[in-house]
Each structure stands twice: as C-alpha cells, then as structure tokens.
Structure 1
Amino acid sequence: MTDEPTAADRTVHLPVAAQPSVETLVDLTRRAEDLGYERAWLPETWGRDAVTTLTSMAHGTERIGIGPSVLNVYSRSPALIAQSAATLQEVADGRLRVAVGPSGPAVIEGWHGVDFDRPLRRTREYIDVYRTVLDGETLNYDGDVFDLAGFRLRCDPPEQVPPIDAAGMGPKAVELCGRFADGWHAIVFTPEGLRDRLGDLRRGVELGGRDIDDVRVTLSLPCCALDDGERARELGAEHCAFYIGGMGTYYRDSLARQGYEDTAHEVATAWANGDRDRAVELVDDALLDDLAAVGTPDEVRDRIRTFESIDGVDAVAVSFPRAATVDDARQTLDALEP
C-alpha cells in the first residue's frame, strides 16, 4: 500500500444484494472500522430493512460512522424517519448521518404500491419536516405534499442532530441537494458526468444562500479488487448492466446525459429482451472504467484515486458488485484500506 494521501475520505457502501445474515453486515462494518474507513452506509431496497440492521451495526461497533443510503421518501412518513434518526443517533452515540431520496418508480410502485408522485418536492418536504422534528419543535407544517400539525417529539431530541443528505442524479435533483440538504449522494457517474452535476450542486448552494463547504458530496463507486482481476471486471460489468438495464429508466437516462446515450439504450433493450449476456457485453472496458474501479488490487487503487481527486468530492464510498461474495467484499475492503 502507498502512503500517498487522497483528496477525499474513504467510506464503505455495504452490499446492496442480500447477505447471509444481519451478522454478516455487522462483521463487514466491524472490518471497515478496524481498517479505518470513515463511515459505513447501508442501502435499503427490498431486502432487510435499514433501521433494524443499523441498530445491530451500532451495537457491534464503537467508532465508525453509520447511516442509511438511502431511505426512500415514500414507504415511511417524514416524521417516522425523524423518529428513527433520533433513536439511532442515541443508539450509535452520535455517529449517525442520514440520507434520503425518491428511489425510482420500479421500487416505489412495484414493491411499496405507492404512486411515484412529485419526487423532488416530496424530498424537499421530508428534509424540512426532519429538521423541525429533530430540533424539538412542535410540527406545524403546511406543504404541498404534507399538512401536519400539533405534535412534537415525545423523547428529548438528540443533542447533535444527524445531518440529512439527499440522493439525486438529474440536474434539478442535484440542485435541490445543494439548496436544502446537508449533502449529496451520487451513484452511477462517470468522472466527467460527476463534474457536470457538481456544477448543478453549486448552483443550488448559491440559490440557497449557503456555503459549499456545508454540503458534503459522497460518491458510491462500485469497487472490486481481486487477485483474479478478470473475474472482478466481469462482476463489475454485470453490476453496471443491471443498474442500466434492470432498474427502470433513471440510471439509463442519467448515463445518457453523460455521453453514453446509445450504449445506455442498447443495454436497456438487451436486458428487457432477456439477453443478459449481451447487456453485460455492451458494458465495454471504457464504460466500465468510467463507472467503476474493478480489477487487480493495484489497478483498483489507481482507479479509485481518479474519483477521489475530483474537486468537490468529499468522500468515495467503496461499494460492491451485486454478485460479489462476502469474501470478495472482504478482499476489496482490505485492498482499499484508507
């Protein structure tokens, strides 16, 4: 390992795919803590719920920051997310940071059975309600989506209110993060695409009359560092093809905005037609290296620095291909030790 410093903090985004047990996720978090990672983010999709798992992670560690990335703004009320944050902050002794976002129609409508309506406005109102509740104030909120009145948090609010970040991919979504949230969570971005969206973030900061240093940018980057570099790249390509082709239009459209419009539509078409091998094949070496850091440990350490050195990126979260094994994740964590 080189002792060369990096421009951004290094965190970990725990596996999005189902793991053998909650204890597996706790073990990975504990390993990340021992290796010096700054925070462990936990995704919530249609597997284990984040709040219960984060509680176990908090009890199983001592120093590492924890947080959900992301809680969607449809399946829980904004007040409930604030209640959960207050409780988790207590359990974690002040180590919590929260991230929310709209997710996408495929999950919200297909899994939760809720209309995917006004995602940006809804995210804005969640942030507003969250802060009011955790400031210990009586909740009187007259929004476009929520009309709330008469209650305040029954327990004492946390002395240190956990920051609330938001996820976003499009220009307006990222602008919203800059204007209202404490941070922006980015996913499926090329270096150039990320730089473009950072311009939208700065515009939001200006519109909100804020300081850019008060808005933390975290990039979730698919990483797989294995001695078998070819297998690592295969896992990375399959992961990217799934997000582009199998997760609705959001990731496809985001990639199209980043200069890969034809490829994004070809991958999505192949995936929709059941030709998964062709979809993976379309994620060629150039695209894979633009979206991920995968290969041998030396190759991955070199590639991750490209993203960490982007001006405006505060943290890179090491994430893992969805088909990676627990051992693959452990090897990658070890190889990318901060």
Structure 2
Amino acid sequence: MRLGLSMGHWGSAGGAEPLALGLEAEHLGYDIVWAAEAYGSDAVSVLSWLAGRTSRIGLGSAVMQIPARTPAMTGMTAATLDALSDGRFHLGLGVSGPQVSAGWHGVEFGRPLARTREYIEVVRSVVRRDLVRHDGEHYPLPLPGPGGRPGKPLRLIIHPVREAIPVYLAAVGPQNIRLAGEIADGWLALFHAPSHADTNLAQLREGRGERGLAGFDIVASVPVSVGDDLDACADRVRAYAALYVGGMGSREKNFYNAQARALGYEKEARTVQDLYLAGETEAATAEVPFGLIDETSLLGPVDRIADRLRAFAASGVTTLSVIPHGDSYEEKAASLATVADALHRANI
C-alpha cells in the first residue's frame, strides 16, 4: 500500500502550510500529493506550484470539478500539468454536488453518470491527440457553426508527455462506484470504512468486469490524528467530520450524510445534519460519534495506526492518502512521519 497526502483546499488553513506539507511528503517518500477545489482555491494552480517545487512525488487533483471546465479544457490542462511535472500528474475528477454545480458554476446537475462518461471520453481523446469528434448528448463536438454547418474538429497542438494520463473518479454510491470501476483507472474514496468495504469492492469489480481489480488504484483519503488519548485524537477530527456529514450539501442531497447512515449511524447522522443546517455547528460537531470517526480515520499511537493500516490494506486500499490533523504545522508534519513509520511496521 502506497502513501499519499490529501492537502484539501489550499488557503483554508493558511496558505503556506499545505504547500510545506506537500514538500515534506516528498521528503518522507510519499507517493503522491492531492489538491482539492470547491469554491475557493483551484486545484490546478496549487498543483502547478508543486510541480515546480518537487521532482519525484506524484501530483493529483482530488478533484477537478467537471462542471467547472469543458472536457476539452480539462484535456488541455491535464496534458500541460503532465508536461510541467515530467509525467507525474493524475487526473481526479468529480461532478461535485447540486449546490456547487448549479449555484457556483451555473451548470445543471442532472444525469451525472452520463455526463461523466462522455466527459472522460472527450478528455482521453484530447490527450491522445485525436481529431476530437464526439457525438454525445452532453458534449457534442464540434457544435454546428453558422448556417447549420458543423464547426471544425480540432486536435491538441502540443504533444503530451504520455498518451494516457491516469483518470480517477471521486464516487459515492453504488452506481457511481460501479462507473469508476468501469471507465476510470482509480477510485477516490472518502469516509472509507474497512469494516464495510465489501459492498464497494463488489461494485468496483462489477464495473471492472473481466479486468478485475489488478492495477486499479483504490485511493482512500483518511484523517490522521496521533496521540495516546483516543478521545482527544478523535476531537481533532470531529469538526471535519461534522462539516461533511452535516453541511456538505443540502438536506435532500448530502452524499456523505447518506454514507454515514449506510455505515450504521442513521440517527446520529440525522442529528448532526439537523444541528449543522440550523447553524449550530459546535453542537453538531459534538454529536459526531466516536465510532464513525474511528472507523474512517487513523487515531492513536504508531502501533495502533499500523494495525489500522493493515485493515485498510485488507479492505482493498492501494493508496492511503493522509489528511493530517493537529494544532500546528509541526504536529501535522510529525503525523506524516508517524504514518510512514507505521506503514513500515505494518509490513504491508
């Protein structure tokens, strides 16, 4: 099992800290660093900075939002980032949610699976330097020009470093996970619980078909909080969990709340959401159950973390992407080193 760093949204907790953690991850031998975007900083700018400051570590978007860019633009961007990083880029994509898609980008959220399938087809065509033509409902290329005549199909001008850039899908729910297995090179998982992984693995296998899971990268982004007091460790992660379970989306459409309920925390997830959406964020945070945090995080001293790493590896995870939690940069950097040490002890 490889290690990655999930930087999250750059700038939300101090601009210099996540970038410094990315450099520290490379120093510690981590395999990849992932940058996210929502409606703040964009992933591409952050990854461009890292491409210029690093030499070995992989660079991934987790995720570039599908409603934010045309597929041709994403193909251009992926080819450019891959060239700037000497072939280290991994393209993670996601449809986001209805609030961000419609509220921020002005793009209708409907039929996300069909749009994702078409989107990736066009992106891969661009990177291969095909003459891009796509007869799709969502991304027809080229569009008709003046007088009804078709626009001119085009080919990427630059020559990419690689003909195929690894594509990852952030997916929650049976149909989305099945689609990731079918059309992507990897799955970006959040709130992955090893004890409940069998269903997700079955959906991935269904999507993969005869290809199986060999060579398919299952990436779990996992909060890490190091210390001897498990309750104190969980407290550092509790606000993060409350944000996703309670506030990431609307009452009708919150994928992470549904995921918490699927893990057996039906009542607790409803309470956290009710409080969060009522503006009582501190009360919502206090209601996040320890079990949910512990099942989906790495908590405790190094030997306990090593045991948990074995559980994540046994559940199919091939890249564990650390989300460090602590009160200072020094604590977060130390947690990266602790997980690297734990992985060595786990002998996975």
* TM-score relative to the length of structure 1: 0.90
Which of 168, 171, 182 is the equivalent residue of 2:171? Answer: 168
Residue 50, structure 1, aligned to residue 54, structure 2: no
Residue 80 of structure 1 deviates from its aligned partner by 0.7
**Identity score, percent:** 33
1:20 match: 14
Query: Separation in 2 of the partners of 1:287 and 1:274?
Result: 22
Cross-structure match for 1:290: 295
* Residue 145 to residue 186, structure 1, CA distance change in 2 (3 Å): same
| Deviation (angstroms), 1:232 | 3.0
**1: CA distance between counterparts of 2:307 and 2:165?**
33
2:279 is equivalent to residue 274 of structure 1:
yes
Corresponding residue of 1:3: none
- The alignment status of 1:259 with 2:264, answered yes or no, reads yes
Structure 1 residues 53 and 16: alpha-carbon distance in aligned structure 2, compared to 1, 3 A threshold: closer
Q: Residue 53 of structure 2 corresponds to which residue in structure 1?
A: 60
SS of residue in 1 equivalent to 2:214: helix
Question: Relative to 1, partners in 2 of residues 1:133 and 1:304: Cα closer, same or farther, differing over 3 Å?
Answer: same
**Secondary structure, in 3 states, of the residue corresponding to 2:211?**
coil
Which residue is 1:4 aligned to? none
1:109 to 1:325, Cα distance in 2 relative to 1, 3 A: farther
| Residue equivalent to 2:147 | none
Q: What 5-or-longer segments of structure 1 have no aligned partner?
A: 1-7
Identify which of structures 1 and 2 has the higher relative contact order when contacts are C-alpha pairs closer than 8 Å and 6+ apart. Answer: 1
Is the CA contact (8 Å cut-off) linking 2:83 and 2:160 kept in structure 1? no
Runs of 4+ with >6 A deviation: none
| Amino acid corresponding to residue 339 of structure 2 in structure 1 | L
Among 308, 312, 315, which residue is 1:307 paired with? 312
Partner of residue 36, structure 1:
29
CA deviation after TM superposition for structure 1 residue 324, in Å: 5.5
Letter in 2 for 1:12: L
Give 1:1-338 correspondences, 5 Å limit: 8-16=1-9, 18-21=12-15, 23-149=16-142, 150-206=153-209, 209-226=210-227, 230-248=231-249, 249-310=254-315, 312-321=316-325, 325-337=328-340, 338=343
- For structure 1, which segment, 263-272 or 139-148, has the greater mean C-alpha deviation from structure 2 after superposition? 263-272
Shift of 1:226: 4.3
Q: Distance in 1 between matches of 2:188 and 2:230?
A: 28
Q: CA deviation at 1:130?
A: 1.0
Shift of the alpha carbon at 1:296? 4.0
TM-score (norm 2): 0.88
Once superposed, what is the RMSD of the aligned Cα atoms? 2.0
Structure 2: which 5+ residue stretches go unaligned? 143-152, 344-348
Deviates more, 1:178-187 or 1:100-109: 100-109
In structure 1, C-alpha distance between the alignment counterparts of 2:227 and 2:107, rounded to whole Å: 40
Alpha-carbon deviation of 1:27? 1.9
Helix, strand or coil for the counterpart of 2:293? helix
Q: Which has the larger radius of gyration?
A: 2
The count of corresponding residues between Structure 1 and Structure 2 is: 326
Q: Is the 8 A contact 1:230 1:295 kept in 2?
A: no
Amino acid at match of 2:296: L
Q: Alpha-carbon deviation of 1:228?
A: 6.7
